[in-house]
Amino acid sequence: MKRDLTPIDRLIAGADSALRTVFSGAPRPGRANPSEGLPETVRGESDRRHVAGLMRVNHAGEIAAQGLYQGQAATARLEQVRESMERAAQEENDHLAWCEERLAELGSRPSVLNPLWYAGAFAIGATAGLVGDRWSLGFVAETERQVVRHLEDHIGRLPAGDSRSRAILEQMKTDEQHHGAVAEQAGGAKLPLPVRKLMGLVSKVMTGGAYRL
């Protein structure tokens, strides 16, 4: 029998998810790493540091995605919307694990600001959920559109021969496009222009911070 969770239950589950996501490392991915079997071509120190910075940004983005989806799931009014958010968070776990693996290959580490990225995204997601499911879904759709543009930019900034990082980012891009399309089809409302611009500004702040820290 499926148990109906109370708001307190969801708060406890959200706190547990936050601790696991930020401090325990990525869970085992459900899919194989897209870079599996591809050669390592990043050799020079300058290229290695640059690629590590890009992958650290993407890892931080996946930390934020976990917070966003968990926050929205905690406040969603319709059960199918809540389940959709939780399912998207599970799928994003693959991205988190792949980015973490790539950082380790490059001899680097995740952003030290990850707790901040998760907390801020959770608060934004929870607020979006409280406003209403149509707006919450619209927020997902717009977030994924911006993430796809961001991934396209990073793919273009990779060293030409870095097939391992490229394979990961290309698969992430495909998945994010799918998440955005699902949110739109589920009835997501188009966000007002000022909100979309603010989201872009917040993304730039996170990108700059995570690349260095």
What class does CATH assign to 7-11+43-212?
mainly alpha
CB-based contact 59:206 (threshold 8 Å): no
* Predicted TM-score of the model (pTM): 0.84
How many angstroms separate the CA atoms of 76 and 128, rounded? 9
Residue 44: Cβ-neighbour burial (10 angstroms; 0-12, 13-18, 19+): exposed
Q: What is the pLDDT of residue 211?
A: 87
Q: Which SS3 state, helix, strand or coil, does residue 184 take?
A: helix
Q: Which residues, including other chains, have CB under 8 Å from residue 182's CB and lie 6 or more apart?
A: 84, 88
CB-based contact 102:159 (threshold 8 Å): no
pLDDT of the chain along its 213 residues, tens only?
A: 445 656 556 555 555 555 556 655 666 788 899 999 999 999 899 999 999 999 999 999 888 888 887 787 777 776 776 676 667 767 778 999 999 999 999 999 999 888 888 888 888 888 887 888 888 888 888 888 999 999 999 999 999 899 999 999 999 999 999 888 888 888 888 888 888 888 888 888 888 888 888
CB-based contact 76:137 (threshold 8 Å): no
Percentages helix, strand, coil for the chain (3-state, rounded to 5) are 75, 0, 25
Q: What is the pLDDT of residue 1?
A: 47
Domain boundaries, the chain: 7-11+43-212
Q: What is the pLDDT of residue 154?
A: 95
Q: What is the pLDDT of residue 127?
A: 85
